[in-house]
Structure 1
C-alpha cells in the first residue's frame, strides 16, 4: 500500500501543478475583470494597472499553495504543523481580501447593479404613491366644502322665497348673509377642484418616469448606460414628487377656513318692524355660529392633512459592480461561493496530501513513535559505533603488542638449575 500511495503522489504531481496553475490563472482573469470596474482614468493606465494587479494575484496564489503542498504534508512536529496551518488560514483570508470579492464582482456585478436599480425603483414607487395620496387627501375636503356651500345656498333661497328662517320672505339681511357665505365656500371649492387636474397630470408624468425606469431595469445589454439613464429618470421623478407636495391645497383650505370666520361681518338687521329686526338678529347669530363651526371643521381637517410627514424623494446613488456585490451579498451567495472556491480549492488538495503522507508514515512505522529515528540520530549512532570500534581495535592492538614483547624475553631467560639430590624444587620468586 505504501508503494502504491507513493506512486500515486508521483504520478499526480504534474496534474496537481497544472490544476493549481489553471486555478490561479482563472482567479487572475476574474480579478482583472473586477478591478477594471474600480479603476478610472486614462484607459491605457487602467488596462496596465489591472493587468499588473491580476498577475500579482495569480503569482501569489500559485506560490502560496505550492509552498503549502510542498511542506505541510512532510511536517511531523505538532507545533510546526500548527504554525503552517495558521499560515494557511492567514493566507486564505488575504486571498479573499485581494481577489475573491473582485471575482464575485466579475461573476455577479451586472446582476447586483440590476438589483440595486430594482430596489431603488421600488422606493421611488412608494414615494410617488405617498406624495399622490397626500395630494388626494386635500381633494377629500372638496365634498364637505361643496355640501356646506349648497346648504347655505338652499337656506338663502328658502328664506328669500318663503321666509323659512325669519318668517318674512324677501331678499333681506339674512338672505344676503347666507348668499355671501355660500359664495365664499364655492370659491374655496373651486380652488380645490382646480388642483385636481394638476395632481392628475403630475401623477401621470411620474408614472411615465416609472415606466421608463422599469424598462431600463429589465432591458438587456451593458448595465452602465442603463444605470446612467436610470439616474436621469430618477432626477425627473424626484422633481415630480416635489411638485405633487407643492400642489396640496390643504394650506390654502386652512387659511380660507380661518378667514371664513375671522373676516365674517354680520350685517345689521334692516327689518321694517322691531319684531322682524329681532328675528333677523337672531338668525344672523345662528348663521354666524354655523359659519364658525364650519370654519373649525375645515381647519381641523386641513391640520390633519398638514400633519402628515413630508415625502423626501429617494436620492439615487450610482454604485460600481464591486460595491453592489458587497451591498447585496446575501442575494448572490452562489456567486460568492464560486468566487471563493476558485481561490481556496487548493486547500482541499493540501489536506489530501497531508492525509496520504500520514497514511504512508503509519504503514512504514507501525510500532509508533518510540521507534522513530531521525537522520541526525542515525548519524550520531554511526559516529558512536565508529568510535567504539576504533577503541576496540586499539585495545586489541595494545594487547597483541604486549604479548609479542613478553614472548622474546621468556625465550632468552635460562632455565633454573636443577636442585641437589634430596631437595625439593622451589618456584622462582618474581
Structure 2
C-alpha cells in the first residue's frame, strides 16, 4: 500500500506541474496589468512616455513575480535540512516584502484609487463645511448685541421725548441740554445699530455664496465618471470657497462694536447746562451725571460682550492638498482593506502552492523511507548494479566469498560490542 500511495503522490506532482506553471503565469500577468494601471496614475509627462514607462515597469514586475515563485516552487520542497529550510523561508519573506513594495500597493491603487480619491474629496468637503459654518457663526455673533443696543437706544429716545414734552427728568419742559444729550446718545446707538444690521446683509450674501460652492463640490464628489477632471474642478471650487470664508472672517462687526462701546464712555461730552435759573442748572447737571453713569455702564456691558465675541476661536487656515490615486489608497488604507487584501493575494497566492508542494514532497519522502530497499531501487540503479557485478566477475573477484567474509566480520563486530556492554555502533 505504501508503494501505491507513493506512486499516486508522484503522479499527482507530475500532473499539476503544468497547471502550476500556468497558474503562476496568469497570476503574474494579472499583477502586471494592475501594476500598469497603478503606475499610470502616478506618472507625469507625455502620454507616450507614460505608456512606455508603465509598460516596462509592469513587465518587469510580472517577470520578477513569475521567476521568484517558479524558483521557490522548484527548490523549496526539496530542501530538507532545518538550516536550509529556514534560509529559504527568510528568502521567501524578503521576496514577499519586495513584491508588496513594488507591486501590491500599485494593484490596490488600480482597484480602489478612484474610491479613495472620492473619499479624500468627501472628507475635505466636510472640513470646509465646518469652516464655513464656524466663520458664519463668528460673523453673526455681534448680531446678538442688537437687542440690547436697540433697547438702550429706545430708552434714550423715550427719555428725551418725555423730558421735552413733560419735563420728566428736570421738571422743566423744553428741548434743553438734557434733551440734547439724550438725543446725542440715541443717535450714536442708532448708528451702531445700523452698522450691525448692514453687516447682517453682507454676511448673509457671503454665506449663500459659500453654500453654492459647497453644493457644487458635493455634486462633484458624487458625480459618476472619471475622478481626475472632477478633482481638478473640486480644487478650483476650494479656492473660491476659501476666499468666501476669509471674507466672512473679515466681515465681523465685533471690532467696530468694541470701538463704538468704548467711544460711548470715553468720548462722552456733556453739553453745558443752559437753564436760566440756578435751580434748573443744578437739576440739569444732576440728570446729565446720571446719564453719564448710565452710558458708562452700558458701554462696559457692550465692551465686555464684544471682547467675548473677539475671543472666539477663528477659523483655522486650511490648505487643500490634491492626491494621486496611489497616495489616496495609502492614506485611507484602513477604509479599503478588501481592496488591499485582493491586491496582495494576487501577488502572494503562489506561496500557498509552494507550501502545498512542500507538504506533498515531505509525505512522499517519508513513505519512500519506509519501503524496503528492493522496492525503492529504480531500474537504472538495478542496471548499474548489474554492470558493476559483471565488471567484478570479469576481473576475477569472487563476489560470493567477499560477501561471506564481510558478513562474518560484521557478525564478529556485533558480538564483541554485545560482550563489552556498549551495544552496536550506530
TM-score range, shorter chain: 0.7 to 0.9
Deviation, 1:393, is 4.3
Q: Is it true that 1:133 corresponds to 2:133 in the alignment?
A: no
Q: In the TM superposition, what are the counterparts of 1:280-295 in structure 2 within 5 Å? A: 280-295=284-299
Deviation, 1:387, is 13
Deviation, 1:272, is 2.3
Q: In the TM superposition, what are the counterparts of 1:9-408 in structure 2 within 5 Å? A: 9-366=13-370, 393=397
Q: Is the 8 A contact 1:127 1:313 kept in 2?
A: no
Provide the secondary structure at the position in 1 that maps to 2:318: coil
2:6 paired residue number: 2
Q: Could you tell me how far apart the structure 2 residues matched to 1:297 and 1:389 are?
A: 127
Deviation, 1:312, is 2.9
Q: Could you tell me how far apart the structure 2 residues matched to 1:307 and 1:392 are?
A: 115
Q: Could you tell me how far apart the structure 2 residues matched to 1:350 and 1:145 are?
A: 83
Segment of structure 1 superposing worse, 254-263 or 110-119: 254-263
CA deviation digits over 1:195-242, x for unaligned, max 9?
Answer: 111100100000000000000000000000000100011100000001
Q: Could you tell me how far apart the structure 2 residues matched to 1:387 and 1:150 are?
A: 134
Deviation, 1:314, is 2.5
Q: Could you tell me how far apart the structure 2 residues matched to 1:196 and 1:340 are?
A: 56
CA deviation digits over 1:291-310, x for unaligned, max 9?
Answer: 11111111111111111122
Q: Could you tell me how far apart the structure 1 residues matched to 2:394 and 2:84 are?
A: 39
CA deviation digits over 1:27-82, x for unaligned, max 9?
Answer: 00000000011111122111111111000000000000000000110111110011
Q: Is the 8 A contact 1:152 1:178 kept in 2?
A: yes
Q: Is the 8 A contact 1:124 1:313 kept in 2?
A: no
Q: Could you tell me how far apart the structure 2 residues matched to 1:217 and 1:77 are?
A: 57
Provide the secondary structure at the position in 2 that maps to 1:85: helix
Larger Rg: 1
Q: Could you tell me how far apart the structure 2 residues matched to 1:138 and 1:331 are?
A: 42
CA deviation digits over 1:370-414, x for unaligned, max 9?
Answer: xx99xxxxxxx99xx9999999949x99xxxxxxxxxxxxxxxxx
Deviation, 1:246, is 1.0
Q: Is the 8 A contact 1:32 1:51 kept in 2?
A: yes
Q: Could you tell me how far apart the structure 2 residues matched to 1:203 and 1:120 are?
A: 18
Provide the secondary structure at the position in 2 that maps to 1:295: helix
Deviation, 1:173, is 1.4
Provide the secondary structure at the position in 2 that maps to 1:12: helix
User: TM-score scaled by structure 1?
Assistant: 0.86
Deviation, 1:364, is 1.4
Deviation, 1:153, is 0.7
Q: Could you tell me how far apart the structure 2 residues matched to 1:389 and 1:267 are?
A: 148
CA RMSD of aligned residues (A): 2.6
Provide the secondary structure at the position in 1 that maps to 2:273: coil
Provide the secondary structure at the position in 2 that maps to 1:319: coil
- Return 5+ residue gaps in structure 1 as ranges: 374-380, 398-430
Q: Could you tell me how far apart the structure 2 residues matched to 1:284 and 1:302 are?
A: 26
The 3 A distance-change label for structure 1 pair 362 and 275 is same
Segment of structure 1 superposing worse, 127-136 or 142-151: 142-151
Q: Could you tell me how far apart the structure 2 residues matched to 1:266 and 1:86 are?
A: 93
Q: Could you tell me how far apart the structure 2 residues matched to 1:31 and 1:2 are?
A: 42
2:420 paired residue number: none
Q: Could you tell me how far apart the structure 2 residues matched to 1:105 and 1:390 are?
A: 74
Q: Is the 8 A contact 1:153 1:178 kept in 2?
A: yes
